[in-house]
Structure 1
C-alpha cells in the first residue's frame, strides 16, 4: 500500500498552556496533509477535480501521545481506507520515525470527505480519474470494498 507522506512544520503558536500541541491544532495538520494529497498530488497526477470543491463530513481522532514543539517537522502519512460513490475516507498517522526504525505515533485519525460541486451547491460523485488516483493509496483488503462501492 502506498501512503502519501507530508512533512508538517510545527509552529510556536500551536502550543497550549501545558506545553504541547493543542488538540484542535491537529485538525489543521490533517487539513494541510489532506490538501497536499488531494489537491496538489492529485492535480499533478491528472486528477485535479478535488480542487474544485470538497467538504469534510466527519473527523475521528485518537490522541496517542503528546507532541511538543521542536524545530523539526512531524511526519503525516495519509492513505485511503474507503472509496464510495460520492465520498471517501482518508486515514492518517502523525508520527516520528527514529533512525533505528522505531515509531512514535502521536495521532491516528480519519476524515470522511465528500466531493462538492460549488456551482451547483451540492455533493457530486467521484469521477473515474479521481477513483483511479485514490486507488493507488488503498491497501489490498480495502480495495475490495472500494471496488464494490464503484
Structure 2
C-alpha cells in the first residue's frame, strides 16, 4: 500500500483563541492534501483525471490531540480505503515525526462538469486508486491505542 505524503505549512491565522489550530482549519488541511493527491500526482494527467470535478459527500475527523502553531509543517498522509462505482473514500493522518494529531476520512464523488451529476469512476482511475488502497488501517487505529489528550477548540 502506498500513501501520498503532503507537507502542510501551518499559518498564524490557523490558530484559535486558545493557541490551537482551529478544528475547522483541519478541513482546509485535508482539502490541500486531497487536491495534491487527486491533481498533483498521476491522477491529474491524461484520461484518468479528476479534473472535470468532484464533490465532497462526507467528512469524518477524529481529533486526537491539539496542534499548536509552530514554524515546521505537519505531514498529511493520504490513501484510499474504498472505491465504489461512483465514489471513493480517502483516509488521512495529520502528523509529525512524534505524534498523530488527527485521523480523518472523506467520501469524494467525481462529477460530470457539463451535467453537474455524479459520474462513474473509469477503469483507468480505479487502477491508479487501487495502488493507494488500504482497508485495514482506518477503523482500528482511529479507536484503539490513542487516548484523546485534549479537544480542539470550536
TM-score w.r.t. the length of structure 1 is: 0.86
Offset of 1:56 from its aligned partner? 0.2
SS for the counterpart of 1:85 is coil
Structure 2, unmatched stretches of 5+, are 138-154
Structure 1 contact 45–133 (Cα < 8 Å) conserved: no
Which one is further off, 53-62 or 131-140? 131-140
CA RMSD of aligned residues (A): 1.7
Offset of 1:39 from its aligned partner? 1.1
* Alignment correspondent of 1:123: 118
Offset of 1:47 from its aligned partner? 5.4
Number of equivalenced pairs:
137
Offset of 1:46 from its aligned partner? 3.9
* Alignment correspondent of 1:137: 132
Give deviations 1:110-145, integer Å, cap 9, x for gaps: 000000111111000001111111011013769xxx
> Which stretches of structure 1, 4 residues or more, deviate above 2 A after TM superposition?
42-49, 139-142
TM-score w.r.t. the length of structure 2 is: 0.84
Offset of 1:44 from its aligned partner? 5.3
Structure 1, unmatched stretches of 5+, are 98-102, 143-150
Give deviations 1:6-39, integer Å, cap 9, x for gaps: 0000000000000010000000000000000011
Instruction: After TM superposition, list the pairs within 5 Å mapping 1:26-65 onto structure 2.
Output: 26-43=26-43, 46=46, 48-65=48-65
Task: Pick the structure with more helix per residue.
Answer: 1
